[in-house]
Structure 1
């Protein structure tokens, strides 16, 4: 018999591979009878990763980050540890590690740790966020009066948070505080949330129609060039909008829900290309022509913003369906550009640009969450999310570092800028998305079965 026997591929749980029905003709097989079952060598595992394997990846990330992000204070000159701080000390600073504890990237990481703790049941993830949130609450209590008294000259270990100048200083951190509050975390957020929530909802510069923007008036009365006056960064859909929506849930005030939905739709009207299904990175109000550079991570921030807004926006809100439709349009657009091995390119629609990890991890999270929440069809997007997760997981090295992440990036109107941005394991943008993605994949594969059908990874029913 000329049949070729394929090696068994690893499958999720108890799901068994399904095969084509046997041929009805009698007699010897032709030479091509079983070619469809030949063993395929995939660069990354072609399967739905089980929870234990996902957690093993996340555990490496947790171990690394816990070791290199100390939640401690030291004297800035002597570097001696400060065990207890009962009054504001101008010489106290956070002990330096690999990453800043009060950056927007770490707001995402705190949210990712909370999600991983919930998905895995491992308290260490939750404790990581609680410990650092508690430190920020303690420092805010001590230093906020000092900074408010002299914003220009005061010294504080977390001054950029206590005196925010941009959404980067406040938005993602605020999202993590609000999510932690909703989860019942016993940290006093009574000072933290008003600082960042008020900045995002009331103080950040906006265009005349209320859209969050960069490039408002400077101290000299002239417009700030960020990089041009009245510039929209797609990134700011995430840096501000989830916090606005969460403030609605916290306060019950519908004005926040209205604002969050309006932000999504006004950003999208200016920056989303419906033919391609993806967003441009930068837009300048009043400029007639916009070169469209479809930077991957900014598209990730936009997709994540929408899935976070949908999570709290009341389903009877007048713009709920419009926001959900925009999320679906974007997810469908991104599906067109997924690389054969699971990741997405730095410039999404330019396959000669490099494959980038942080954006791919954000897409994995948002798409899997969309499946779990019913915004996206599990039959189409479940296998896509699993393929993406397997590729992202392969970028977490043995030490727990995330490889292949583009470093911090401004915006530009030429392709060279994006093509040649460096990648680094010290790019903080990769860690939170990996944690969020892994947590959501655990939830998705716990809820739905995915297995092989004629060698293709397919949805196989609810668990």
Structure 2
């Protein structure tokens, strides 16, 4: 009887959420993130809370007090989404969320930088990504969000960081001979689809901020080159990787990496001048990807962890990314409005199957590297309100809200 009652309550909650307006759902999601975010640190062993890095005793190992505290590309995505939501709804608390997050990082990173020991993995230290910039993950998306915050908070340290990040990105990062960004792992000069998002949103904003065309041209080059190496003509999807040493792609059309590629193209088109010689070509590539992923949308309106493998689980972060990308493209007139149904079906699927009554997103694939077997992708764990999914979900909600307003 209790089990039957629990099922009934769950079904009722799902129905109530599905019946809520898009704005109500998006507010609930954003407010849950606000609730879960705790800016501070917690002792790994003593479990004590420290409100600042300066309060952490020497030699006491600590971690972030909440997953939303850190300095990671996912935090950059979330900050941008919160800012967009706040601007759309006229709600300063969401814009302030990003400003507080960025400020906390700048106020606290130096303590850990001073205690950093060579030979230790940078991500083992809070804010290790901040002061090392070892990977594009560490600073690209965060820099894009800092640039947005800087429009309101003219803190000199922000500008200095942005200039350092831009120089590091454009002059010091590992590349192929044709300037494509690559990584030194898991093998030398490995191309990761994810890195298109880790670079392009920052590049295009830096182009607008400085007025220097070189940043936009760099972003265009990356989109064209990533497409050259990763696009699968047969399946009409992007591969997760390309190995320079083997001159071949990896094994998976991973959902979220396709989402990162889609989002990077959207950010580029947002900033690219209407008369740019490559604009028509870039819109064509975006539409081609949208029509490609549309073939793999499930009956629930969602997409699978491995897009062309329907026996892999329905994954929330990539589904949210695709909803956002398609709705954004329709809202800006880049693709025909009839394709809006791809996004609206995906949004309804997220509400019905993946967002719980508290506004938390379920079944978000955790951070994922590159492996040479599909089992790795099939068996990646999932989390609830895991940091890889909440930003894309808010992005999706914002664009669906705009889409609904267009239809009125």
Q: Give the TM interval when normalised to the shorter protein.
A: 0.7 to 0.9
Which of 203, 210, 222 is matched with 2:179 structurally? 210
Which of 359, 362, 365 is matched with 1:400 structurally? 359
Change in CA separation of 1:348 and 1:75 when aligned onto 2, cut-off 3 Å: closer
How far 1:295 sits from its partner (Å)?
Answer: 0.6
Which of 237, 240, 248 is matched with 1:278 structurally? 237
Change in CA separation of 1:176 and 1:404 when aligned onto 2, cut-off 3 Å: same
Report if the CA contact (8 A) 1:342-1:388 is conserved. yes
How far 1:53 sits from its partner (Å)?
Answer: 1.7
Alignment partner, residue 383 of structure 1: 341
Alignment partner, residue 446 of structure 1: 405
Match of 1:232, SS state, is strand
Which of 30, 33, 51 is matched with 1:65 structurally? 33
How far 1:336 sits from its partner (Å)?
Answer: 1.4
How far 1:437 sits from its partner (Å)?
Answer: 0.6
Alignment partner, residue 424 of structure 1: 383
Paired residues, number: 388
Q: State the superposition RMSD in angstroms.
A: 2.9
Match of 1:235, SS state, is helix
Alignment partner, residue 246 of structure 2: 287
Which of 48, 70, 94 is matched with 1:101 structurally? 70
How far 1:291 sits from its partner (Å)?
Answer: 4.8
Match of 1:368, SS state, is helix
Alignment partner, residue 394 of structure 2: 435
1:335 aligns with 2:275: no
TM-score by length of 1: 0.76
How far 1:180 sits from its partner (Å)?
Answer: 3.0
Alignment partner, residue 40 of structure 1: none
* Higher RCO (C-alpha under 8 Å, 6+ residues apart): 1
How far 1:108 sits from its partner (Å)?
Answer: 0.7
Report if the CA contact (8 A) 1:71-1:94 is conserved. no
Q: 2: CA distance between counterparts of 1:422 and 1:82? A: 31
How far 1:214 sits from its partner (Å)?
Answer: 0.7
TM-score by length of 2: 0.86
Report if the CA contact (8 A) 2:317-2:388 is conserved. yes
Report if the CA contact (8 A) 2:72-2:137 is conserved. yes
How far 1:147 sits from its partner (Å)?
Answer: 8.0
1:196 aligns with 2:155: no
Report if the CA contact (8 A) 2:32-2:360 is conserved. yes
Report if the CA contact (8 A) 1:104-1:171 is conserved. yes
Q: 1: CA distance between counterparts of 2:159 and 2:83? A: 19
Match of 2:289, SS state, is helix
Change in CA separation of 1:82 and 1:341 when aligned onto 2, cut-off 3 Å: closer
How far 1:117 sits from its partner (Å)?
Answer: 0.9
How far 1:76 sits from its partner (Å)?
Answer: 7.5
Q: Could you tell which deviates more after superposition, 304-313 or 286-295? A: 286-295
Q: 2: CA distance between counterparts of 1:86 and 1:419? A: 42
Q: 2: CA distance between counterparts of 1:187 and 1:405? A: 35
Match of 2:191, SS state, is strand
Q: 1: CA distance between counterparts of 2:218 and 2:282? A: 12
Alignment partner, residue 10 of structure 2: none
Change in CA separation of 1:407 and 1:122 when aligned onto 2, cut-off 3 Å: same
Alignment partner, residue 413 of structure 1: 372
Structure index of larger Rg: 1
Alignment partner, residue 353 of structure 1: 312
CA displacement, residues 221-253 of structure 1 (integer Å, 9 cap, x when unaligned): xxxxx1122110111111112212221111111
CA displacement, residues 14-71 of structure 1 (integer Å, 9 cap, x when unaligned): xxxxxxxxxxxxxxxxxxxxxxxxxxxxxx98xxx99x72232223322322232212
Could you tell me which runs of 5 or more consecutive residues in structure 1 were left unpaired when the two chains were aligned: 1-43, 216-225, 450-462
Which of 75, 82, 106 is matched with 1:113 structurally? 82
